[in-house]
Amino acid sequence: DQQVKQNSPSLSVQEGRISILNCDYTNSMFDYFLWYKKYPAEGPTFLISISSIKDKNEDGRFTVFLNKSAKHLSLHIVPSQPGDSAVYFCAASGWGSGNTGKLIFGQGTTLQVKP
């Protein structure tokens, strides 16, 4: 049972344009969401997070949006740069159903930013 889903395995955008990565979740007890970025042969790097009391969090070129009613979050990168090319994982955690803060990861989306 995949509680966190990233339905697009890959995304390709032009440099300077906006990249939008999507993530859906099924567990209504999740209340904290994170995005990680992973380059090949490296571990995931924490990028940005959002608590369920907010619907938007911004950090430089990265903005995460949370739509609790739709159980959907997205990561916007603008403007996209070639160095942003990586695999992006969304993750969620919350209380209840044995979660107790454990992070549940999606399958990842590979972003390619073309020069």
Partner 1 sequence: ETGVTQTPRHLVMGMTNKKSLKCEQHLGHNAMYWYKQSAKKPLELMFVYSLEERVENNSVPSRFSPECPNSSHLFLHLHTLQPEDSALYLCASSQEHSFSGNTIYFGEGSWLTVV
Which residues contact partner 1 (rule: CB under 8 A)?
Answer: 2, 4, 31-32, 34, 36, 41-46, 49, 51, 89, 93-95, 99-103, 105-108
Nearer to partner 1, 101 or 115 (CB): 101
Q: What is the dihedral of CA 22, 25, 30, 33, to 10 degrees?
A: -20
In the complex, the smallest distance separating the C-beta of residue 113 from partner 1, rounded to whole angstroms, is: 22
Nearer to partner 1, 18 or 46 (CB): 46
Nearer to partner 1, 18 or 39 (CB): 39
**Contacting residues for 101 by C-beta, under 8 A, at least 6 apart:** 93, 94, 95
CA distance 89 to 103: 11
In the complex, the smallest distance separating the C-beta of residue 44 from partner 1, rounded to whole angstroms, is: 5
In the complex, the smallest distance separating the C-beta of residue 16 from partner 1, rounded to whole angstroms, is: 30
CA distances from 52 to 3, 28, 33 (A): 16, 10, 8
